Amino acid sequence: MKNEKTAEGPDEREESSICEVLRILGAKWAFLVLDELLEGPQRFNQLKRNISIVKTQSLTDTLRHLEHNGLVRRQVFPTVPVTVEYSLTEKGSDFQLALKEMEKWGQKWGAKGHAAETRDAAP
């Protein structure tokens, strides 16, 4: 039988896994950072330039959050000055498929898709 919901409530395992994903990826800029790091490892200032809408402190907080949750790796190189590079872990790279599906959904149902649906539904 497929995940039937009982009278006591929804399947707790299903609910908790969705909540966990949202907790990790619900950080304001997480999707943009992950998408940018899919291009390859980057230093902080590269990321900051490439995602210019994100303020420095917000980018720092997002990177720390993603690193804490195992999606981003922070590697420090012993240079003068110290060089820090961010890249995706295997867990972070695994998110690529989901991100591509979300992009397809957004292209289909984004602002243009919503406008077409509203226009088609008009009497």
Give the three-state DSSP class for 55. coil
C-alpha angle 51/46/93, rounded to 5°? Answer: 75
CATH number for position 46:
1.10.10.10
Quick one: DSSP state of residue 80? S
The whole model's pTM is what? Answer: 0.73
Domain that holds residue 35: 12-121
Most confident range, picked from 11-15, 47-51, 95-99, 107-111: 47-51
The fraction of the chain above a pLDDT of 70, given in percent, is 78
Confirm whether 108 is domain-assigned: yes
Confirm whether 29 is domain-assigned: yes
Confirm whether 5 is domain-assigned: no
Q: pLDDT tens-digit profile of 63-80?
A: 999 999 999 999 999 999
Confirm whether 3 is domain-assigned: no
Give the three-state DSSP class for 85. strand
**Total domains present in the chain:** 1
